[in-house]
Amino acid sequence: MPHVLAILATGFEEIETVTPIDLLRRAGVEVVVAALTEDLLVTGRSGLTLRADTTLAAVGDRAFDCVFLPGGPGVALLRADSRVRPLVLRQHAAGGWLAAICAAPTVLNDAGLLTGRRYTAHFSVAPELPAILAHERTVCDGRLLTSRGAGTSLDFALLLVEKLVSPAKAQEISAAIAA
């Protein structure tokens, strides 16, 4: 089964974080939730506090099939952290998956990974992302997966399951949660 690293920064958008983690785990994917800081308790933008599995520092250079960056105000902390850009660049160089939702595609842009690529993001970061496909709910370009925001979290989570596990597993989970 695939291994996914989800990085949590204070101010993460709860729906954009929990929905993909939940559906990936339902699909049997190992999702390691890593706190950006040394505190395993990370509070999201709406006051929900999640307990991370580990810290980004403890993850070190461990390889993952996918690096997942949730959106929300916490994206500013992801962008400012000196470890995130090199991690994203290593993931890209290794041919791994990169998944970003809402404002998080700006992290990929900062790393120079959106040039010439198809992507979407939240309208609030459109001025920074001139090639944004603003009306697309999710976009897959090679091993780059992006989504607009909280309202597209379920679509994004199912896309992650489809690409990392299988279309059949994504359909199975979609049917199970729609019942």
**Catalytic positions, please?**
102
d(CA 177, CA 179): 6
Specify the amino acid at residue 99. Answer: A
The region, left, alpha or beta by phi > 0 then psi within -120 to 50, assigned to residue 117 is beta
From the list 68, 26, 15, the residue with the least C-alpha distance to 174 is: 26
- Give 167's strand partners: none
For the chain, the first-to-last Cα distance in angstroms comes to: 26
Eight-class DSSP state of 165: T
d(CA 113, CA 133): 16
d(CA 177, CA 128): 35
Question: Do residues 63 and 36 lie in contact, with contact meaning Cβ atoms separated by under 8 Å?
Answer: no
Query: Three-state DSSP class for 43?
Result: strand
